[in-house]
Amino acid sequence: MQTLTIIRPDDMHLHLRDGDALKAVAPYTARQMGRAVIMPNLKPPVVSVADALAYQQRILAALPEGSTFEPLMTLYLTDKTTPELVREAKAAGIVAFKLYPAGATTNSDSGVTDLFKLLPVLQEMAKQGVLLLVHGEVTDSDIDIFDREAVFIERIMKPVLAQVPDLKVVFEHITTAEAARLVSEAGDNVAASVTPQHLLLNRNDLLVGGVRPHHFCLPVLKRETHRQALVAAVTGDQANKFFLGTDSAPHAQSAKENACGCAGMFSALTAIELYAEVFEQAGALDKLEAFASKNGARFYGLPENTDTITLEKQSQTVPESIPYGNETLVPMRAGGEVAWRVRY
């Protein structure tokens, strides 16, 4: 049997929700990943250091006994964020602030309306070494949803990087060739996280044969040419600038399968196995460890995990659904096969 042993990976972009939902999904990530960067878009959002530290304790309480998983906490950037809060966050061990343009995605109503008004905050983040995590889409109604990332790059990302050149930025869950090119050509202060769905799926998987609500995520799946560009980026000459970030986002089946289905895909159940498929198909399994276990840690200034996991080339069937509080949750590739499995 073919096996692959790698340093335990980290998930640099994860949604865990709260309450019963948190208790339902956190163990899936904890059994694969050493650490995860936790997104702050709860209701209400995580906007203060006290909020983040309290949420961190709830996450730790939801983990299986003996788990060594470490949640890395972030704060939600708002129009009211101050340089003083940045300094307080740094002192408390908060690793980043997350930019959600207002209205861009799930629970983003409190997001930033004009990032350029927060330049003093971004300058303080650069000074303190606190990262900016960017949901890179504009939300203007006249911009096609498939073009929102590319427009964001020109209108916001490039001007901000020019005005705050030392700011460490993670372009989150990139979906386009334009984003991959920007990150590859930018300085060492710019990197990107990439999800399994944007490496494995294109917009045909969302729309052909009927709308598939469990393939609806934001940023939305793009053309096949963009998917290919992302695979080339994570396996190419500048691959050290890209790292694993699932954007695994649990939603109850009833919330996905209705007249206004919400955005998000839950991949934490078989996350590293899905990435292994991508790298195997690209003939680049030897580069999976760097993408999953090294690049993100280095960019965040963290040591690599000291233990390992072993993947086996053995097919597994993904459950049609899993328990999610009083409801059910449909995971990515539900009912289908994944070519790899982790040896637990």
pLDDT tens for each residue of 31-84:
999 999 999 999 999 999 999 999 999 999 999 999 999 999 999 999 999 999
Positions of the chain with pLDDT under 70? 103-109
Known binding residues? 13, 15-17, 41, 98, 135, 173, 218, 247, 251, 263
How high is the mean pLDDT of the chain?
96
- pTM (2 d.p.): 0.96
How many whole angstroms from its chain centre is CA 326? 26
pLDDT at residue number 106: 63
How far is 9 from 290, CA to CA, in rounded Å? 9
Active site residues: 247
pLDDT at residue number 1: 75
Compute φ and ψ for 308, nearest 5 degrees.
Answer: -130, 165
Q: Architecture of domain 3-343 in CATH?
A: Alpha-Beta Barrel (3.20)
Sequence-distant (6+) residues with CB within 8 A of 271 are: 11, 29, 32, 33, 196, 244, 246, 248
Known binding residues for Zn(2+)? 13, 15, 98, 135, 173, 247
Known binding residues for substrate? 15-17, 41, 135, 218, 251, 263
How far is the CA of 35 from the CAs of 11, 126, 215, 267, 322, in angstroms?
6, 23, 26, 16, 23
* Helices 271-281 and 224-235: angle between axes, nearest 10 degrees: 90
pLDDT at residue number 102: 77
pLDDT at residue number 104: 62
